[in-house]
Structure 1
Amino acid sequence: MKKWLLAASLIISAGFLAACGGSDESSKGESGKEKVVIGYFPNIDHVPAMVAREKGYYEKALGENVEVEYKTFPDGGTFMTALKSGDIDAGLVGPAPVMNNFSNGADVKVLAGASSGGTVVVASEKSGIDSLEDIEGKTFITPGIGCTHDVQFETYLMDLGMDKLASARIGGSLKHVTGNPAQYQGMFESGQVDLAAVPEPWASTLIEAGAKEIISTDEIAYGQTLPNTVLAANGKLVKENKEVAEALVKAQQEAVDFINNNKEEAQTIAIQAIKDLTKQELDKNLVAKSMDRINYTTEINEEVLKQFAQSSFELEFLKEEPELAGLVDTSFLN
């Protein structure tokens, strides 16, 4: 798509754009302006995108000649498909889908962190699970196969050194299914699944409804050190339109600063945004508890990402040992 090439010129000068000879109509929004599309999920670790959307940070950073469109996703796999195809230009996603796709040749970049922490493993009341000793042969659910929460949970189990406490995919006894976290409560109630490795606010929502916390955010693999959500962009955008990439990172930083300085308002924004997307209105106290589990920051530890990718390889989500050189580009962070 040609929109990346043109958006920087629009930001600098509309007149210069006209001299360049126009653009592909598919890259324009309804207003006729060039369009940048941002993706994110209805999870508490994606609140920076919700705040940036509500406060107009992306629009302000990109300039009045660029139209911003938003798309939401249930999991990292669908997000990455959209990012690679150019249906979205950038957005928030867990690091595992980005690294897995990069390792398989996708031209994608990580530009900044967004949040860390927040992954919890919970068991349904019907499961009969009171501790890890009870999970053999049970069914667990994550948003996607090889997603960030899946890798964290399976790495934790792998570190225990007990072969049966692993996914059946790699010879263990646990059946693994996937689904949208907003639907986990119904799946718990129906007995379809026993365990969930889940992000906030769905972990706190399930616990509030009677689920038992089995592995806490602090205990799970890479719990507080891993960037649980990152700002990812199409590599072509970063190479051909650095001004747009810089603007996206600037908006991300503004959103993170707002969350950390205005916690109650950020919680209100998150509640409304999630209600708009899922039709579920979350309790304010529950959201406050969820957000307290998470550290919102644009900082990113590349060494931890490498260790996490190695875990993905050892769990056989990656066919080859990962080489992540060139994935992270923090040059746009101040």
Structure 2
Amino acid sequence: MRGSTLGVVATVLAASLLLSGCSGAATAGTTASGEPTELRLGYFDNLTHAPALVGIGNGFLQDALGDTTLNAQAFGAGPAAIEALSAGAIDAAYVGPSPAVNTFVQSAGQSAVIVAGATVGGAALVVRAGIDSPADLAGTIIASPQLGNTQDVALRSWLEGEGFATSTTGGGDVTVAPTDNARALTLFQSGQIDGAWLPEPWVSRLVLEADATVLVDEASLWDNGDFPTTVLLVGADFNRDHPETVRALLAGHTASVAWLTEHPEEAADVINAKLTADTGKPLSDAVIDRALGGLRFTNDPLAGTFPLSHREAVAAGTAKDGDLNGLFDLTLLNGVLAEAGGAPISAAGLGTE
């Protein structure tokens, strides 16, 4: 080991993006300098995507992009966002490490590159009353957000380390049930699942709204408690062909990360306003305060953790083995940071910096 209805809506959204993706990629306008008139960005309505929520809500991303219009679209989980990116329906996305690695490996490095980190921490296994130790999980049903997403891999890997067999098609000593986060909460409340490995704010929602308890905080499995939950991924062709737009995106992203770091007291209100605009329902103060307490926002993707995470995904049967060299392109990020007097960030030998 290492150191529902909403579900249907998400599926329909992903499908519509895929259907529109090819034509959108072919007809996107460009300026006289060759830069696009629009940047299409994917993100999730999770607190682990706070840099995106704040970047959109406070206008940091649009301000940095200038005349390029930001078109931001919410997704339910990483694999769905990756499908849209691969289809040309979006140009960049905030996603978890596992989907980012999967698309890179499956395309032999041709699909996308990670250009920045975003969030560290904020994922855990929460369970019902009566489950007090790993041994109590035998025969249970545990949810994860989506097959192959970052929390799904973490759950399967941890279960294997505890001696439990799982399957990507169901069954095993513990049944892992990929389930939309909101539906996981409903299923847990009705007793149809026994627990879930989720990102924030869903961990805090199950604890505070459904009387779940934390069995495993993922931070406890990593050196210094640091593990990436969100990175910023850009299509490889877009990154190559539109460096000025990617640089502007990164300027807005780093401004968002800096604001979150410098304004923790204001962060909850800004994030909640964006969540309310997207979903129609704000988080309670108790949930958002608890959730933000376990998150750290950073431009560093923690590149050195990726080989281990990838090995675990391969062992869990959710990823193909492959070379990660070239996964990161931090050149533009480090240029933006240097202009602000910041220190460079390492690609850990897995790309350019």
Q: Tell me if both proteins adopt one fold, taking TM over 0.5 as the criterion.
A: yes
Instruction: Give the TM-score normalised by the residue count of structure 1.
Output: 0.86
Aligned residues: 306
Which residue of 2 is the match for residue 57 of structure 1? 60
CA–CA distance in structure 2, aligned partners of residues 326 and 7 of structure 1: 29
Shift of 1:5: 8.3
Contact 2:168 2:318 in 1 (8 A): no
Contact 2:147 2:178 in 1 (8 A): yes
Matches within 5 A, 1:24-63: 34-63=37-66
Q: Is 1:325 the equivalent of 2:325?
A: yes
Which residue of 2 is the match for residue 292 of structure 1? 293
3-state secondary structure, aligned to 2:219: coil
Cα distance, 1:222–1:46 mapped onto 2, change above 3 Å:
farther
CA–CA distance in structure 1, aligned partners of residues 185 and 74 of structure 2: 21
3-state secondary structure, aligned to 2:306: helix
Contact 1:7 1:241 in 2 (8 A): no
CA–CA distance in structure 2, aligned partners of residues 253 and 166 of structure 1: 41
Deviations 1:103-139 (A, max 9, x none): 11151110000001111100134xx322212101111
CA–CA distance in structure 2, aligned partners of residues 8 and 250 of structure 1: 22
CA–CA distance in structure 1, aligned partners of residues 223 and 75 of structure 2: 24
Which residue of 1 is the match for residue 30 of structure 2? 6
Contact 1:141 1:197 in 2 (8 A): yes
Contact 2:260 2:297 in 1 (8 A): yes
Matches within 5 A, 1:1-334: 1=25, 6=30, 9=33, 34-63=37-66, 65-105=67-107, 107-125=111-129, 128-160=130-162, 162=163, 165-169=164-168, 172-209=172-209, 210-220=211-221, 224-319=225-320, 321-333=321-333, 334=337
CA–CA distance in structure 2, aligned partners of residues 245 and 304 of structure 1: 24
CA–CA distance in structure 2, aligned partners of residues 218 and 40 of structure 1: 23
3-state secondary structure, aligned to 1:218: helix
CA–CA distance in structure 2, aligned partners of residues 220 and 188 of structure 1: 25
The alignment-based identity, stated in percent, is 27
Shift of 1:6: 2.6
Cα distance, 1:5–1:107 mapped onto 2, change above 3 Å:
farther
Which residue of 1 is the match for residue 350 of structure 2? none
Query: For the aligned residues, what is the CA RMSD?
Result: 2.1
Contact 1:50 1:270 in 2 (8 A): yes
Gaps of 5+ in 1: 12-26, 28-33
Cα distance, 1:177–1:221 mapped onto 2, change above 3 Å:
farther
